[in-house]
Amino acid sequence: MIQRFIELGEGYSDLYELLEIARNQSHRVRHLLILNTEKEGRKLSSFLVILEPTSVGSFQPLYICREGIAVTDQKSKRLLLFEALAEDLGKTIIMLDVKPSTFFGEKELYFQHLIGILRMNRYIPPLS
């Protein structure tokens, strides 16, 4: 099985794309996650949609809007949209605290770290 992060951007249009992917592939949505971190003194969140593997090729996409959502005392519109998606799909949002991507020398190392966390918590299956 191939598990790969597909990174969208950090803006509103990217979040709208993430929501559309989840809605249009609702039968494949396995988990919705919010990854919280602190980067340069700011609290930020990444939104993640994990789909079921494809039937042909065993490819499991992990769509992410990385560290683009500021965490404040009030719920942001982005968070409200993600919560509405979870409600529409009948999913519970999983929250995890993770290291910031800047902790790693390369973005790919960060994604490998996240894959390890997701496998360890059984949100994605191990390689077989």
Quick one: DSSP state of residue 121? T
pTM for this prediction: 0.94
Tokens of 57: 């090729």
Reported confidence tier of residue 37, pLDDT bands at 50, 70, 90: very high
103 phi/psi in degrees, rounded to 5? -65, -25
Which residue intervals of 37-97 are DSSP H helices? Answer: 77-89
Higher pLDDT pick, 121 / 10: 121
Give tens-digit pLDDT for 40-95. Answer: 899 999 999 999 999 888 899 999 999 988 888 778 899 999 999 999 999 999 99
How far apart (Å, rounded) are the C-alpha atoms in residues 86 and 30? Answer: 11
For residue 76, the SS3 value is: coil
